[in-house]
């Protein structure tokens, strides 16, 4: 299932945010629900922000796409969240989802799970309001640039979170290393980077179009993050069971979560 590299302009032109949410996160049959990724991600994020106590003033969610689940625990630990994504359509859909507008994907089951894990007695509606109040804006972002927020120059932040973005933005491993450095420039010394990627994946299908993924391994991710000036705080990988039909949609064999602390600029 090798495919030509899918550039950022293709994402801008044809990526369908609503279809992506339904295919990959649908509550009953979504690929990343069935394979266990969503539950894994929600658990690790809850651990990060509650058990480990990662908190601060500002978190940037880079490459959020059309999803909001990755910010559900973060909104309890940070004063503000800034979204950042390359495509206009994803930024618009993300904002509409935060407002829970009709026609957007429903995250009710994920929100309930997070509320249960956090154990604060918060309702789904209260969590939605807290998330909406904490996410202040979403801005244009290009991780291939040395300043991903160009032309904006933002103060360095306490945390950057990126889920399933960088593997799609990079055509080769050297580019991935460079992109990690670009992202790292946004983080204070002592701040944190949270990365989640699917591993050993070359492509995924959406709307009849096959989008490329950079094939990543646990070993590469560990070394690339350390080389960028971070210490690994937490790294966990969960395997995925083989299913022919599901693998034709997306052929990753495992999912990775990393929490890392920035020790120095490189």
Q: Return binding residues.
A: 20, 25, 85, 90, 142-143
Taking the C-alpha atoms of residue 162 and residue 140, their distance in angstroms, rounded to an integer, is 15
The closest of 229, 167, 166 to 192, measured between CA atoms, is 229
What sign does the CA torsion over 76, 157, 197, 104 have? Answer: positive
- Characterize 215-233 residue by residue with b for buried, 16 or more Cβ atoms within 10 angstroms of its Cβ, and e for exposed: bbebeebeebbeebbbeee
Question: Rounded to the nearest 5°, which phi and psi values hold at 248?
Answer: -70, -25
Taking the C-alpha atoms of residue 250 and residue 24, their distance in angstroms, rounded to an integer, is 9
Longest dimension (CA), the chain: 48
Q: Return binding residues for S-adenosyl-L-methionine.
A: 20, 25, 85, 90, 142-143
Residues in the chain: 266
Reduced DSSP (H G I as helix, E B as strand, rest coil) percent helix, strand, coil of the chain, to 5 = 40, 25, 35
């Amino acid at each position: 299932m090798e495919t030509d590299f899918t550039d950022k302009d293709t994402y801008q032109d044809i990526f369908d945010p609503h279809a992506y949410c339904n295919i990959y996160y649908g509550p009953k049959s979504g690929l990343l629900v069935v394979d266990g990724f969503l539950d894994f991600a929600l658990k690790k994020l809850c651990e990060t922000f509650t058990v480990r106590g990662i908190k601060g003033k500002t978190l940037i969610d880079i490459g959020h796409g059309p999803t909001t689940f990755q910010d559900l625990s973060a909104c309890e630990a940070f004063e503000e969240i800034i979204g950042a994504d390359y495509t206009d359509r994803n930024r618009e859909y993300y904002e509409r989802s935060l407002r829970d507008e009709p026609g957007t994907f429903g995250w009710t089951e994920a929100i309930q799970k997070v509320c249960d894990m956090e154990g604060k007695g918060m309702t789904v509606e209260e969590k939605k309001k807290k998330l909406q109040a904490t996410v202040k804006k979403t801005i244009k972002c290009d991780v291939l640039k040395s300043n991903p927020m160009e032309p904006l120059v933002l103060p360095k932040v306490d945390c950057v979170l990126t889920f399933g973005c960088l593997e799609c933005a990079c055509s080769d491993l050297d580019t991935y290393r460079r992109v990690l450095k670009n992202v790292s420039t946004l983080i204070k010394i002592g701040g944190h980077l949270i990365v989640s990627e699917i591993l050993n994946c070359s492509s995924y299908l959406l709307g009849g179009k096959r989008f490329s993924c950079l094939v990543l391994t646990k070993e590469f991710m560990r070394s690339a993050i350390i080389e960028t000036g971070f210490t690994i705080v937490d790294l966990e990988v969960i395997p995925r069971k083989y299913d022919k039909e599901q693998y034709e949609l997306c052929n990753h064999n495992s999912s990775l979560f990393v929490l890392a602390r920035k020790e120095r600029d490189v």
